[in-house]
Amino acid sequence: MDVNHYLELVRKNQPLVHHITNWVTIYDCAQVVKSFGASPVMAHAAEESADMALISSSLVLNIGTLTPELIESMNSAVLCANKRGIPVLLDVCGAGATGFRDRMCFKLIDETRIDIIKGNASEVARIAGADVRTKGVDSGDVSGDLVKIATGLAVERDCTVIITGKDDIITDGKKCITVSNGHELMSHVVGTGCMAASVAGTFAAVDPGNIVEASAAGLCCLGIAAELAVSLGNGPGSFKGFLFDAIYSLDRAHVDKMKRTGECAVTIL
State which amino acid sits at residue 126. Answer: R
Residue of 189, 187, 161 whose CA lies nearest to 174: 161
Question: What DSSP string runs through 142-174?
Answer: --S-HHHHHHHHHHHHTSEEEE-SSSEEEE-SS
Question: Contacting a second copy (CB under 8 A), which of 3, 7, 10, 31?
Answer: 31
Q: How far is the CB of 194 from a second copy (least distance, A)?
A: 11
Q: How far is the CB of 92 from a second copy (least distance, A)?
A: 14
Question: Contacting a second copy (CB under 8 A), which of 11, 27, 84, 166?
Answer: 27
* DSSP letter, residue 64: T
Question: Contacting a second copy (CB under 8 A), which of 1, 56, 173, 261?
Answer: 56
- The piece of 35-43, 77-85, 110-118, 157-165 that touches a second copy (CB under 8 A) is 35-43
Q: How far is the CB of 266 from a second copy (least distance, A)?
A: 33
Is residue 145 within 8 Å of residue 266, measured between CB atoms?
no
- Alpha-carbon distance of 90 to 106, in angstroms, equals 11
Nearer to a second copy, 91 or 213 (CB): 91
Tell me which residues in 127-166 interact with a second copy (CB under 8 A).
Answer: 133, 135-138
State which amino acid sits at residue 75. Answer: N
First to last CA, the chain: 26
Question: In DSSP terms, which residues pair with 58 in a beta bridge?
Answer: 17
Q: How far is the CB of 231 from a second copy (least distance, A)?
A: 13
Tell me which residues in 182-241 interact with a second copy (CB under 8 A).
Answer: 188-191, 233-241
Q: How far is the CB of 154 from a second copy (least distance, A)?
A: 27
Question: Contacting a second copy (CB under 8 A), which of 8, 9, 34, 148?
Answer: 34
Q: If binding is defined by CB under 8 A, does position 107 make contact with a second copy?
A: no
Residue of 61, 58, 60 whose CA lies nearest to 15: 58
Q: How far is the CB of 144 from a second copy (least distance, A)?
A: 22
**How many separate helices (H) and strands (E) can be counted in the chain?**
11, 9
- Alpha-carbon distance of 56 to 185, in angstroms, equals 33
Residues at the contact surface with a second copy, assessed by CB under 8 A? 16, 18, 22-28, 30-31, 34-35, 37, 39-45, 47-48, 51-52, 55-56, 64-68, 94, 97-101, 133, 135-138, 188-191, 233-246, 248-249
